[in-house]
Amino acid sequence: MNYAFTFARTPRLEFGPRRLALVPALIAGREKAQGFPFAVAALVTGGASFRAGSRYAGLVAELRSAGVRLLEFACAHEPDPDFIDASAAALLNASGGRAERIAVLAVGGGSAMDAGKAIAALCAESEAAAKRGETPPSVKNFLEGVGDRTPSGSTSWLLAAPTTAGTGSEATKNAVISKIGAGGFKKSLRHDSFVPAVAVVDAELALGCPHEVTAASGLDALVQLLEAWTSPQASPLVEAVCASGIVAFARSFERVLADGNDLEARSDMAYAAYCSGLGLANAGLGCVHALASPLGSRYPVPHGAACAALLVPATDLNLRLLRERGGEPGSRKAIAAYAAAARLLAPLSGASGRPEDGLPAALRRLVTIAGLRRLADWGMREADIPELASAAGTKTNPVALAASDYEALLHEAI
């Protein structure tokens, strides 16, 4: 077979237990390579869980003993523009206005890592604006569908260490910034250069992660693996990465729900999430994520919970429409991907017949086991469905969907 495809840049990956202890050495290595020390390091974390554990205290102590000047920022929810703007301004002030002398350490869930990416990028954009004698910009100026400016790609040095296993943000080039409520948005800041320089994936950071967060994050990773694999843009390398991630997921999702301190299962889930990030970055996502964005901008529904609610009806709909258009080469390719994924998840379904027929049953069982709240529990109303459906759209769903299809998905998921 003749292959022709592009695979985006990836971070330097440090994977395994106790890898967080490498952070001071990684900073020192970067300082040596660039020929000057960082003036300040930003530690961007989530709201509470990581900060309440011993690994947080140990990391802070190690950084300070290594002479790192530390500023800390807590991102309790999905990052909003005000948080990003204020954090970047404080860092630039501490660094003497020089973005290259800032190290950003994002340790947390997807929100903390997205915040870290956006802060690192805005520091560089603000420095450039100051040199031109301009007012520092807001991150809103660079958000897709919100602002009117294109990011330059300049950024401070960024290290990302996930404490949950879901978004794969440690491997991607985009940061999702949100404003929740009527007139709100959930949009990406995106550039190839925003992929973290280093990803530290240490499954010990997820030990003790709450059941609901573990379940929602895990299903988010599964959705990303399935959507990237069935995307029209999936390359052979994306397919292989997604298959590997689903094997790890199938082996350990139920185990980690049963015992949150199972380090081997946590490692599998961390690996699945990282693979899902690689898939997202190189093939895009499908209709579940097309709806998850407007849902997340309108209601305080966690991203993983939105994905879980939509997963089964979206898979049913895609398979039905793909079969109706089965003569098209793209449809055959997507059905084959669903069938391959179904075989990997087969122990979770017990279904017989065509391999892909077992997939919705397996997914339904996983969603039931996860026990997450439905969309109505987060405030979604039937009356909101047309507006939400009109805001959805993706070029990388395996089959084109109309607004009526998105409405049907939301009616079933609510």
Asked if pLDDT for residue 352 goes beyond 60, the answer is no
For residue 47, the model assigns a pLDDT of 74
State the distance between the two ends of the chain, measured CA to CA, in whole angstroms. 44
User: Considering the entire predicted model, what is its pTM?
Assistant: 0.93
For residue 20, the model assigns a pLDDT of 96
pLDDT tens by residue, 77-135 = 889 999 999 999 999 999 999 999 999 999 999 999 999 999 999 999 999 999 999 99
Domain with CATH 1.20.1090.10 in the chain: 211-413
**Confidence band, pLDDT 50/70/90 cuts, at residue 331:** confident
For residue 347, the model assigns a pLDDT of 65
The answer to whether the beta carbons of residues 94 and 69 sit under 8 Å apart is: yes
- The superfamily (CATH) of domain 211-413 is Dehydroquinate synthase-like - alpha domain (1.20.1090.10)
For residue 356, the model assigns a pLDDT of 65
pLDDT tens by residue, 285-320 = 999 999 998 898 888 888 899 999 999 999 999 999
Round the CA-based radius of gyration of the chain to a whole number and report it.
21
**Residue 41 φ then ψ, to 5°:** -120, 135
pLDDT tens by residue, 128-158 = 999 999 999 999 999 998 999 999 999 999 9
- Please name the residue that has the structure tokens 């985006």: 8
The least confident of 71-85, 138-152, 171-185, 352-366 is 352-366
The answer to whether the beta carbons of residues 223 and 311 sit under 8 Å apart is: yes
**Confidence band, pLDDT 50/70/90 cuts, at residue 48:** confident
Closest by alpha carbon to 239, among 358, 357, 338? Answer: 338
From CA 202, how far away is CA 278, in angstroms rounded? Answer: 17
> Between 48 and 171, where is the model more confident?
171
The answer to whether the beta carbons of residues 61 and 125 sit under 8 Å apart is: no
What is the third-level CATH fold of 12-206?
A: Rossmann fold (3.40.50)
Pairing assessment for the beta strands 40-46 and 70-75 based on DSSP bridges: parallel
For residue 327, the model assigns a pLDDT of 59
Asked if pLDDT for residue 60 goes beyond 90, the answer is yes
Domain with CATH 3.40.50.1970 in the chain: 12-206
Write the DSSP symbol of residue 348. Answer: G
For residue 2, the model assigns a pLDDT of 66
Write the DSSP symbol of residue 370. Answer: H
From CA 362, how far away is CA 368, in angstroms rounded? Answer: 10
SS3 string, 75-137, reads: ECCCCCHHHHHHHHHHHHHHCCCCHHHEEEEEEECHHHHHHHHHHHHHHHHHHHHHHCCCCCC
For residue 393, the model assigns a pLDDT of 80
Asked if pLDDT for residue 348 goes beyond 60, the answer is no
